[in-house]
Each structure stands twice: as structure tokens, then as C-alpha cells.
Copies of this chain bind each other. A is one copy, B any other.
Amino acid sequence: MNDTPNGTSTLNINRDSDEPAYAQVVRILSQEIAEGAYRAGAQLPSESQLRARFSVSGMTVRRAINILVDRGIISASQGKGTFVRGLDMREAAFRLRERHDSPLLGPSVQVRLLQAAILTADERIARKLDISRGKRVVYLRRLISQPDGPVMYHREYMVYDPRRPTVEAELQITSLEGLFRGQGGQGLRRGDLGLEAVALSEEEADALQMPVGSPALCLEHIFYDFENHPVAWGWFICRADHFRLLGRIGPETSLGAES
């Protein structure tokens, strides 16, 4: 067995395991970095050394290294070597998907449509949706509630296009998962999101049963179609005490589906 810098004998991959070889290499190297066998700034063994240690082909090592580079755990520069990166708070990512505090995507959350109307675009709406003032838009208001009370308030403006079946589909949504996923069912190309802290307006405070001026998270969204025209603009007002984004920096011990 080879030795790591800290003197302990190295782990190796298990050929009988169901876990692919490249994934095992990723996991083992991540673990050793996490345990301090390789500190920040240290150089990892070269590709050929790793190939010899794990008894795998170059491509397998290469793939593992690429994954670690993708995750921001190491950095590789051609001709020099691969090095362990230190923690960098800027690399942290907050995903809506995972690890809020509260289970917002379960069946216990209820989405209620408060209002559905067709109105004419004012200056602000027209600019956001890239249409001319006075054009008709669909206006939706929703309230997302948990058993213990409302937690999010949603407002949305959509360009009114009878050919597009999006509007009808939108009206049927009854779960937050449908609201988050359903928007992009068909005909949408991409979306831009913004996240900021706001104070509750009178209307929002009333809906969320909170005092006016309470802090809240505003999650704004704009969706574009394949011609890159805005289709929908809206925002979620989330009660601060029910919505907290979690992130992490540093090596992960678990392995997701990766390249």
C-alpha cells in the first residue's frame, strides 16, 4: 500500500462494489482531502501515480479529477499539477431545491388562487414583459399555506396570448411543486431569478397575517420563450421565519450523479 502524507495507509477501490471505479476515486480523494491528508494548496499525486495507486486506467482517473475540479475542491493546471483549493465563501451556492428548514414541497402545503384577472399593462409591467403599454396581461395572485398558516404570497403577470395554453395550465396548479416545475412545462426557454430582502407592504402583510414592515424574502422570476421574449413576470414573498436558504462549501462526502 502507498502512504498518504499523514502516514496512514491509503484506501483503495473495491472492484466488487456496485459503485463505479471513477466514483470511488472521487469519494476516496474527497475523503482524504476532508480529513486533512491533503491540505489547502497541497499538490495531489499526478495522474499516473493515481493510476498506479488505484490500478485503473488514465481515463478513469481523469474523469474523477474532472469531477473534483467541477465541484471546486481542486484546481488543475496543465503542466503543473492538481492542487487542493481552500474554502472560498464566494463558491457557495444556495439551491432552492434542497435543504430549506421547512418542507415546502410536501402535500401539506396548499396553493390557493386568490385572483385571476385580465388587465392592461402599466409602464412597469410593459417594460418587464417587453410589450407596449395598454396591452392586456393576465394577473394572478396566489397564497401558499402550510397547516400553521400562510407562508408565501405570489403575484404574477403573464402576456395574454390565446394561442398559448400556458394560462389554463397555470390556473390548475394546486401544489408548490407544480408551481415551481409547471412553469417550464412547454414553450419556455429560460428563466432569470432574483432574491432579495424586502419589507412587507400592507397588502402582503395582510395576506401573510404579519405586521406591516416585517422582513421577508422576495424571489422574483421572469420566464422567456424560445424567441427570448418575456412571457411571465412574478415574485414570491416568503415569510422570513419560514424560508431560509442553506448552503455549504468544501468537499462533500456524498456523491451525486456527475460526469
Q: Which residues of A contact B (CB under 8 A)?
A: 34-36, 39-41, 59, 63, 66-67, 69-70, 86-97, 105, 180-181, 183-199, 213-217, 221, 223, 226, 238, 240, 243-251, 257-259
A184 and B87 form a contact (CB under 8 A): yes
Cross-chain pairs A/B with CB under 8 angstroms, 17 sampled: A34-B226, A40-B185, A40-B188, A41-B186, A67-B259, A69-B257, A69-B259, A86-B184, A87-B188, A90-B97, A91-B96, A92-B193, A193-B246, A194-B244, A195-B246, A197-B217, A199-B199
Task: Please measure, in the bound complex, the distance between the C-alpha atom of A187 and the C-alpha atom of B86, giving whole angstroms.
Answer: 9
In the assembled complex, the CB of A247 is this many whole angstroms from the nearest CB of chain B, namely 4
B191 and A214 form a contact (CB under 8 A): no
**Partner pick for A243 among B180, B196, B213, CB 8 A cutoff:** B196
A258 and B226 form a contact (CB under 8 A): no
B88 and A193 form a contact (CB under 8 A): no
**Partner pick for A259 among B63, B88, B89, B199, CB 8 A cutoff:** B63
